[in-house]
């Protein structure tokens, strides 16, 4: 035991250099919740493997549930074994249940993170978001990977629904099997698209935020900039070589679907716009680029989940408005969701001009450069197929491997009216 300045004993650090989570929580319990002190002290002893009759008496007097008492008396290795069999949602639910279980999960977080990295995550996850050593993975890393995975699932589901209709409304077993195969094909590619958009967003924010500028003459502004070829090229090199071209075609298809969903249907362009005052013009390219770069796949999935065109336009307008310091009171929270967590950078946003890459300059120029005859990034057959797809715009057929548009919903007929990349 170390001695603090006040003379009280401070728990020693373990071999990894981190003070035990139970000891930290014990300090907070002393100040706020004296009634939990005995149970917390016993939990500290349980995690350290120290068991005496005094601790047993204190634990028995503090806990009313026999199951809860028996759980906390288990050795630390069994705690980790039990928690490793739970999904992330169950672990988060345990942390919200009570303070003692929160301590239990927090104390086992490093071991749980190592287990998830070694046994649960696939090669795609670890290649796009690598860690130097398994010991560097913390619980926040696992939660971030979970958010990305959920965003990929939701986007893949919405794209499959766009192609083949809602799976819940499918009656034909063959149609359900077709929907499942399309969904499973799209999900890893959606994860790759999310990675590219996230890296592009990070490059944009690193370039525009934190610059020294006079704050008296510049206000919050969104402008349009050209491509970021070097950053996008570095992002492409980090992706698996067999998936680079497929992820690009997937991005082109996502862009097609977003632009299709953000323009009114042909039947509403005349009568509907007159009677219901709907906008007769599709969303501009600047708004779509702003939404793709700052929103990512998670926001794209939420936009596509909106049932009507009016709902989607309102969602797009609300997302853009909520990020403006002049139009929203909660703009800081929304920028934190984007990834700006530094208080200094948040304070800099109201006087920052952020350059959003042109919609046709996202990813496409880098791919065109790699498709030149002198480039060796792709084979001659892949380059020929790329030229054909730039004309036909049927990127989804190349992603799936066959003509899926032949059996798709009527909404997919005019998907390539405005192109997509």
- Structural domain boundaries of the chain? 2-110, 148-412
Q: Does position 261 have pLDDT exceeding 90, yes or no?
A: yes
Question: Which has the higher per-residue pLDDT, 15 or 295?
Answer: 295
Q: Which residue has the higher pLDDT, 418 or 207?
A: 207
Higher-confidence position of 18 and 134: 134
pLDDT band at 31; cut points 50, 70, 90:
very low
> Per-residue confidence at 416, pLDDT binned at 50, 70, 90?
low
Per-residue pLDDT reduced to its tens digit, 118-177: 888 888 888 888 886 766 678 888 899 999 999 999 999 999 999 988 877 777 888 889
Q: Which carries the bigger pLDDT value, residue 295 or residue 113? A: 295
Instruction: Answer yes or no: is pLDDT of 357 > 90.
Output: yes
Q: What is the pTM of this model?
A: 0.78
pLDDT for res 71:
78
Q: Could you give the CA distance from residue 385 to residue 237 in angstroms, rounded to a whole number?
A: 21
- Tell me the helices (H) and strands (E) count for the chain, helix number first: 20, 4
R_g of the chain, CA atoms, integer Å: 26
pLDDT at position 171 is 74
State pLDDT tens for residues 292-319.
999 999 999 999 999 999 999 999 999 9
pLDDT of residue 215: 55
pLDDT higher at 386 or 377: 386
> Please, what is the average pLDDT of the chain?
81
Q: Give the rounded percent of residues in the chain with a pLDDT score beyond 90.
A: 44
Rounded distance, CA 263 to CA 265, Å? 7
Helices (H), 172-240: 173-208, 229-238
Residue 274: per-residue pLDDT: 53
pLDDT value at 61 more than 50: no
Task: Give pLDDT tens digits for 244-257.
Answer: 999 999 999 999 99
Which helix (H) or strand (E) segment holds residue 16: the answer is none
pLDDT band of 17, cuts 50, 70, 90 = very low
State whether residue 223 is helix, strand or coil: strand
Considering Cα of 95, then 100, then 101, then 104, what sign does the dihedral take? positive
Residue 1 has pLDDT above 80, yes or no: no
Interior angle at CA 152, CA 166 and CA 192, nearest 5: 130
* Residue 241 scores a pLDDT above 80: yes
Residue 107, classed as helix, strand or coil, is helix
Q: Tell me, what's the pLDDT at 199?
A: 96
Confidence of residue 267 (pLDDT cuts 50, 70, 90): low
233: its two tokens: 């090229």
Tokens of 32: 């706020």
User: If you average pLDDT over residues 322-331, what whole number do you get?
Assistant: 92
Is residue 316 within 8 Å of residue 295, measured between CB atoms?
no
Partnered with residue 357 across adjacent β-strands are: 225
Can you name the residues that pair with 224 across neighbouring β-strands? 356
- DSSP letter at 2 equals E
């Amino acid at each position: 035991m170390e001695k603090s300045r006040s003379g009280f004993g401070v728990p020693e650090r373990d071999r990894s250099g981190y003070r035990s989570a139970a000891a930290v929580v014990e300090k907070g319990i002393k100040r706020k919740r004296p009634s939990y002190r005995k149970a917390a002290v016993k939990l500290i002893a349980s995690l350290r493997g120290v068991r005496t009759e005094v601790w047993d008496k204190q634990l028995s007097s503090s806990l009313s549930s026999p199951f809860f008492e028996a759980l906390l008396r288990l050795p630390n290795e069994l705690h980790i074994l039990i928690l490793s069999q739970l999904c992330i949602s169950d672990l988060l639910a345990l942390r919200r249940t009570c303070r003692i279980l929160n301590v239990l999960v927090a104390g086992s977080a490093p071991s749980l993170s190592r287990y998830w990295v070694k046994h649960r995550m696939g090669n795609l996850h670890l290649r796009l978001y690598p860690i130097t050593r398994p010991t560097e993975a913390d619980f926040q890393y696992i939660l971030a990977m979970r958010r990305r995975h959920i965003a990929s699932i939701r986007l893949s589901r919405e794209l499959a629904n766009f192609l083949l209709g809602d799976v819940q409304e499918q009656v034909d077993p063959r149609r359900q099997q077709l929907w499942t195969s399309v969904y499973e094909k799209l999900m890893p590619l959606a994860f790759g698209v999310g990675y590219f958009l996230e890296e592009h967003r990070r490059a944009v924010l690193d370039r525009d935020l934190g610059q020294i500028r006079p704050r008296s003459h510049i206000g919050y502004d969104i402008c349009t900039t050209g491509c970021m070829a070097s950053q996008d090229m570095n992002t492409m090199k980090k992706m698996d070589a067999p998936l680079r071209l497929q992820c690009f075609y997937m991005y082109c298809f996502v862009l097609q679907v977003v632009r299709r969903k953000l323009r009114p249907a042909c039947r509403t362009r005349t009568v509907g716009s007159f009677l219901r005052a709907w906008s007769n013009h599709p969303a501009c390219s600047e708004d779509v680029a702003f939404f793709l770069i700052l929103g990512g796949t998670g926001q794209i999935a939420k936009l596509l989940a909106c049932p009507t065109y009016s709902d989607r336009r309102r969602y797009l307008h609300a997302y853009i408005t909520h990020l403006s310091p002049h139009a929203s009171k909660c703009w800081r929270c929304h920028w934190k969701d984007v990834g700006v967590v530094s208080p200094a950078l948040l304070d800099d946003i109201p006087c920052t001009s952020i350059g959003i890459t042109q919609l046709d300059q996202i990813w496409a120029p880098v791919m065109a450069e790699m498709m030149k005859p002198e480039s060796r990034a792709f084979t001659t057959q892949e380059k020929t197929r790329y030229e054909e797809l730039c004309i036909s715009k049927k990127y989804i057929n190349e992603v799936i491997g066959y003509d899926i548009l032949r059996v798709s919903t009527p909404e997919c007929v005019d998907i390539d009216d405005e192109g997509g990349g």
